[in-house]
């Protein structure tokens, strides 16, 4: 996952992810990585339309945005 996040940071490509929220519900997000720390990712969230911080251990699934999907 770190390689994918780092590549996204370098290329400014959007990623889509399934994220486990604090209330244990899943959330679909489209993001652009702005920075990385050991346990967190700072990204622009196209879903919330603001910069957000995501805990890496709460990311359930992540990958490149598929063409034709929201935010692509």
Q: 53 - beta bridge partners?
A: 42
pLDDT tens-place string over residues 2-61: 999 999 999 999 999 999 999 999 999 999 999 999 999 999 999 999 999 999 999 999
How many domains does one find in the chain? 1
User: Does a structural domain hold residue 55?
Assistant: yes
User: Does a structural domain hold residue 67?
Assistant: no
User: Does a structural domain hold residue 35?
Assistant: yes
User: Does a structural domain hold residue 68?
Assistant: no
User: Does a structural domain hold residue 51?
Assistant: yes
User: Does a structural domain hold residue 27?
Assistant: yes
Confidence label for 67 from pLDDT (cuts 50, 70 and 90): confident
pLDDT reported for residue 68: 63
pTM: 0.85
pLDDT reported for residue 38: 94
CATH assignment at residue 31: 2.30.30
Query: Where in the sequence is the domain holding 54, given as residue range(s)?
Result: 2-62
DSSP run (H or E) holding 5: helix 2-11
**Collapsing DSSP states into helix, strand and coil, what is residue 35?**
strand
């Amino acid at each position: 996952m770190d390689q994918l996040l780092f590549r996204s940071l370098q290329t400014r490509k959007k990623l889509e992810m399934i994220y486990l929220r604090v209330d244990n519900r899943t959330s679909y997000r489209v993001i652009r990585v702005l920075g990385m720390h050991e346990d967190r990712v700072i990204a622009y969230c196209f879903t919330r339309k603001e910069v957000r911080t995501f805990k890496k251990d709460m990311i359930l699934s992540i990958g490149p945005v598929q063409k034709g999907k929201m935010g692509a």
